[in-house]
Every structure is written in C-alpha cells, then in structure tokens.
Structure 1
Amino acid sequence: MVLWSYRTTPQKSTKETPFSLTYGTEAMLPMEVAVNTLRVANQDEESKTQDLRINLDILEEKREESGVRQVAYKHATKRYYNQRVKEKAFKVGKYVLRKNEASRAQPQGKLGPTWEGPYRVTEANRNGAYVLETMEGRPFEEHGMLGT
C-alpha cells in the first residue's frame, strides 16, 4: 500500500507521478474498477485504447519536461542550501581543531571527544584542504578538510 501511495502521488521535483512517467497514464485504484465509478463507466473500449495511444505518444515529451523540472528543482535546492552555508577559511600559522570523526583517532561514542588537536595550519590549498602539523612541529600524516 505504501508503494502504491508513493507511485501515484505527484513528486515535488517533477510534478508528475512515477506511475505516469513509467506507463504514460494515471493509475486507477482497484476500488474504482470494483465499484464501477464514473471514470470507468463513461469510457468504452475504443476510447480507452485511443487515449492510451495518445498518452504513449506524448510520454517522451512528458519525461523530458519532468527532467527539466527536476534539474531546476535541484538547482533551487542547491541555491537555498548554499545561501545558508558560512565559509570558513583558516590562515597559515593559525591553530585549529580537527573533528575526531574524520580520523577516528580516539574512540567515538556518546561521551567520546568531538574534536582533536590543536594543530597548526602550514599550508592552505585553494580547494579548501589544509596541511597540518602537530604542536611539536611534526607534519600531520593526513591531509583533509577541517571541521568547522
């Protein structure tokens, strides 16, 4: 029943149901066929066949339109998310803490430490990666993103 509900509900990103994008027509509930509703009773076999052929003819166009809508939706979601992200840049010589989950140097858990360090930034790359060294001046063996 859950799958049926998902497949027959218009998705926010495509504004189409997965069922209609797959089969080219909207799904009928089993109850509609059993009770013989207006949707079923008012159609003869020839008009049903003709409607199905028309739906199949426009199916590719419908899929392309929903693909364009999905790309636009993803772009809008990305823009919304990126507006709220605060970039943080660290300068060479600054002291930083590193998230423990990045290296799992110490056991994690509910009461485990969240941060490890401090480390000194020795090099800042353009892609947001940093080269670190320990407080004793030894190069840190891992390169990677710092937790903010």
Structure 2
Amino acid sequence: MKIKHQFTSVEHPQANGQAEAANKVILVGLKKRLQEAKGAWAEELPQVLWAYRTIPHSTTGETPFRLAYGIEAMIPIEINEQSPKVSFYNEVGNAQAHKEELELLPEVRERVQIREAALKQRITTKYNQRVIRRSFASDDLVLIRNDIRVNKSGEGKLAANWKGPYKIVEVLGKGYYRVSDPGGSELPRKGFP
C-alpha cells in the first residue's frame, strides 16, 4: 500500500493542519507550566518540546523521537533512578540492538502511515455522516463564511462570522459556484472581499 504525501506551503496555512495541531499542543503545555510567569516561556520551551517528542501520540502510537531516530528516548529520571535500562546497560549489546532497531525503522514508519491513513478515513466517514449536504441553484442568495485572516476591517476575532448575501451566478460542479455581490460584480475565485 503506497501512501501519498501531502505538501503544504505558507501560501495556504489552512492546509497545514499538522503544524497547527502541534503548535496548539506545545502552547497548551507552555501555559500549564508557566501559570502566572508568561514572560518566561523561552526557559520552559525545551522541556515542553522534550515532552512532546517523547510521549506517544494517539494518531501514530509512536513517539516522534522514535520515528526520527529509530529508538526510544531515555528520560532523565531513568538515569537518576537507575532504571533497568541503565542497570543492565551493555555497550556491545546496545550497539547491536540499536542497529536492529534502525533496520526495522522503515517498517515502523510504514505501519504509522497506515495507521494514520485509517484514522483519517474513520474521521472523514464520521464527519460525512453528520454533514448536511446542501446544493444551490442559479439566482439563490447565500452567505459566505468570513475568514478573519483576510478581514481588512481590523475587527479580527470580533468580526461577523458570515458576510453577504451573495448571488449564485453559475453552478460549476458539486459544491462549486460562481458568486457575485449584490451589485453584480463577480467575486474572484480566491480571497473574497
């Protein structure tokens, strides 16, 4: 089974969901650690990033550290408390085990890709079951979701969620329409006013 990779760019930040999700988790971790000292985030960031990289993620079942380096990270408490990993450390055996882990890494990554694809499919199916499909015809009036990132009024998060009404000029296909404002000026395909 070959899985296609999706590429995102800065031009389309809405498509970069993984980065946004990771940033959200890191921000939540920082907020929990900082409490009132919000200015000290730079000192706490390494610990939050370490936690993010060494905790298994629910989507993959693996830690990002293992997916990158082929082995599980050893957390500092394991060294200080003499865990079995430290107590039974054998340099020759460890080197051999690490070599074997690296040989298995492509299989682990492939398993993770399959697991993520299955999860995405389940989420899509669940979402599609709840979505109420609507279709419009020419001359119907519609509202368009207001994107606060391109809102030129400066209202930001306080701006209205919807703008319009706009008129459907032409039905282009399943869920795609050519739209005009009340004055008859057609809206451009990208970036509504």
Instruction: Give TM-score scaled by structure 1 length.
Output: 0.75
Residue of 113, 135, 142 corresponding to 2:187 = 142
Q: Secondary structure at the match of 2:146?
A: helix
State the superposition RMSD in angstroms. 2.9
Q: In 2 relative to 1, CA 23–131 (structure 1 residues): closer, same or farther, beyond 3 Å?
A: closer
Pairing 1:127–2:174 present: yes
Residue of 87, 110, 116 corresponding to 1:41 = 87
Moved more, 123-132 or 40-49: 123-132
**Number of equivalences:** 140
Q: How far apart, CA to CA, are the structure 2 residues paired with 1:70 and 1:78?
A: 12
Q: Secondary structure at the match of 1:125?
A: strand
- Stretches of structure 1 that go unaligned for 5 or more consecutive residues are none
Q: How far apart, CA to CA, are the structure 2 residues paired with 1:47 and 1:92?
A: 72
Kindly provide the amino acid, as one letter, of the partner of residue 23 in structure 1.
Answer: Y
Structure whose alpha-carbon radius of gyration is higher: 1
Q: In 2 relative to 1, CA 57–139 (structure 1 residues): closer, same or farther, beyond 3 Å?
A: same
Instruction: For residue 97 of structure 1, report the CA deviation from its aligned partner.
Output: 3.3
Q: How far apart, CA to CA, are the structure 2 residues paired with 1:105 and 1:15?
A: 39
Instruction: Give TM-score scaled by structure 2 length.
Output: 0.60
Instruction: For residue 122 of structure 1, report the CA deviation from its aligned partner.
Output: 3.8
Preserved CA contact (<8 Å) 1:13 1:69: yes
Identity of aligned residues (%): 30
Q: Which has the higher helix share?
A: 2
Preserved CA contact (<8 Å) 2:67 2:105: yes
Instruction: For residue 3 of structure 1, report the CA deviation from its aligned partner.
Output: 1.0
